[in-house]
Structure 1
């Protein structure tokens, strides 16, 4: 299955699942009056709204390259993820307001009814969200999609918030109605934490942050694997959207022909570009004898080219 089909399938599945959960939780909330279930209904409603945004965004990002976007449209994905975060923050704020109003309202907290129905919908929601979390995380990592990974994180925290809501429902059924709005407050904290998590992960894509050090080491190793590359320096890797652009200087024997140097450059480019996270690779070929590298600790040589 192509990347386009895989990520679009995830978007459709998320939208359908979140819409079904939102409708189910809303129906139970109207029947029972449970604030914990109501907060989960708001959470699922926000999930439904951002799922629609994600689906539209994934449709755009999986379009093939064109004249205006020669590298494709994947760099839009971090913005889609930030839309997800905005929806998550809005949902968390709404739940906190509802829970706080219930706790601070004069008089005793109104007891809820329909404990069995509330427990059932929350258990089902937890199982569905856990399944979506595992599925989205696997697809998101395989396809290098930050938007799908963001939704996976949201689904993971939804499992925890469903558990907190379940505790509140069970506590209220046992004769402690205050646990219901308190559980809603815990749900809200989990919702807001998800938003922070998504923002933190995606801001790095937008500001050109460096990728993990192990990727940089793999880039350098692939350059030095070529038998005619004697050393490498000035390795620069940074995010451009969810993908990594690489610039690296390699050193070769200065007396070789331009044609041979070009062939070496092509080999190194193709080797590094084969890394799933890498998009563009820019290789600068320097004569080994020129010695133009920066301080010695920024230059890495092959074992058979260590200075005497």
Structure 2
């Protein structure tokens, strides 16, 4: 399955799963009044909202390049992820506010969920969220999609939130009603933590940060692997959206013809572009005799690799 189809499918699957969960949790909350179940219903409603945003965003990011966007639309993904984070913060804050108010009230008016319905829906939620987490994580990592990876992280924390809510419901039924709003508070904190993780993971994509060191080292290694390349310098690799643009200078024998230099350049570009994370590669060919080799990061990486 190509990237476009994979990303669009994961958006539909997550949306369908979250719609199912919000309907089930809302029904149980309406019947029992449990604050823990209600907080989970709000959490799932937020998930539905951002699932719609994710689905729309993934549709845009998988559109082909055009005259206005010659490099494609993948750079939209980090903005979609930050929109998700904003919704996560709003939901977490609202739940925490309600839970703290109930705790300060002393627990006298806290509704205790009776019967197995609340526990059953929370246990089922944890199981469904685990399946969505594994699915989204695999698709996000395989297709280098920050938006889908952010969705996986949210589903991972939803598992813990459902377990916390389950503990609160069972504790309230055992005669400790304050455990219900305490569990809701734990759910809220898990939601807020997810928002922080999403923001931190996408900031680098927006500010053009350098990729991890091992990837930069691999770029240098691939350039130096060509038998005609005598040196590499002025290596710059940075994120442009979730993908990486690379520019570098390679040194070849000055007696090479223009055609030979072009073939070397094309081979180096093809080798580096074969890296899944890399989008565009720009290579400048220098005559080795000019002595432009520098003690820069490229040389440090090459030396470190040889240790």
Give the TM-score taking structure 1 as reference length.
0.95
Distance 1:33 1:223, change over 3 A: same
Per-residue CA deviation, residues 3-45 of structure 1 (Å, 9 max, x unaligned), is 1111000011111111110111011011111111110000000
**2: CA distance between counterparts of 1:302 and 1:164?**
49
Distance 1:280 1:296, change over 3 A: closer
Q: SS state of the match for residue 63, structure 2?
A: coil
Q: SS state of the match for residue 254, structure 1?
A: coil
Q: SS state of the match for residue 283, structure 2?
A: strand
What is the root-mean-square deviation in Å for CA atoms of aligned residues?
Answer: 1.7
Deviation (angstroms), 1:233: 1.4
Distance 1:298 1:11, change over 3 A: closer
Which residue of structure 1 aligns with residue 213 of structure 2?
Answer: 213
**1: CA distance between counterparts of 2:235 and 2:140?**
27
Per-residue CA deviation, residues 241-288 of structure 1 (Å, 9 max, x unaligned), is 000000111111111111101100000001100111000101111111
**1: CA distance between counterparts of 2:291 and 2:150?**
45
Decide whether the 8 Å contact of 1:115 with 1:170 is kept in 2: no
Decide whether the 8 Å contact of 1:231 with 1:300 is kept in 2: no
**2: CA distance between counterparts of 1:180 and 1:144?**
39
Decide whether the 8 Å contact of 2:113 with 2:169 is kept in 1: no
Which runs of 5 or more residues in structure 2 are unaligned?
none
| Counterpart mapping for 1:1-308 below 5 A | 1-105=1-105, 108-295=108-295, 298-299=298-299
**2: CA distance between counterparts of 1:198 and 1:301?**
30
Following TM superposition, the consecutive aligned residue runs of length 4 or more in structure 1 with deviations greater than 6 angstroms are 300-303
Distance 1:297 1:54, change over 3 A: closer
**2: CA distance between counterparts of 1:62 and 1:297?**
34
Distance 1:302 1:39, change over 3 A: closer
Per-residue CA deviation, residues 95-126 of structure 1 (Å, 9 max, x unaligned), is 00110111112662424132411110000000
Decide whether the 8 Å contact of 1:233 with 1:300 is kept in 2: no
Per-residue CA deviation, residues 36-82 of structure 1 (Å, 9 max, x unaligned), is 11100000000000000000011111011111111110110000001
Give the TM-score taking structure 2 as reference length.
0.96
Distance 1:134 1:106, change over 3 A: closer
Decide whether the 8 Å contact of 1:109 with 1:177 is kept in 2: no
Distance 1:212 1:297, change over 3 A: closer
Decide whether the 8 Å contact of 1:115 with 1:169 is kept in 2: no
Deviation (angstroms), 1:297: 6.3
Distance 1:301 1:86, change over 3 A: closer
Q: SS state of the match for residue 175, structure 2?
A: coil
Q: SS state of the match for residue 244, structure 1?
A: strand
**2: CA distance between counterparts of 1:185 and 1:107?**
14
Per-residue CA deviation, residues 110-145 of structure 1 (Å, 9 max, x unaligned), is 241324111100000000000000000000111111
Which runs of 5 or more residues in structure 1 are unaligned?
none
Decide whether the 8 Å contact of 1:109 with 1:178 is kept in 2: no
Q: SS state of the match for residue 226, structure 1?
A: coil
Q: SS state of the match for residue 238, structure 2?
A: strand
Deviation (angstroms), 1:302: 8.1
**1: CA distance between counterparts of 2:189 and 2:290?**
58
Decide whether the 8 Å contact of 2:224 with 2:231 is kept in 1: yes
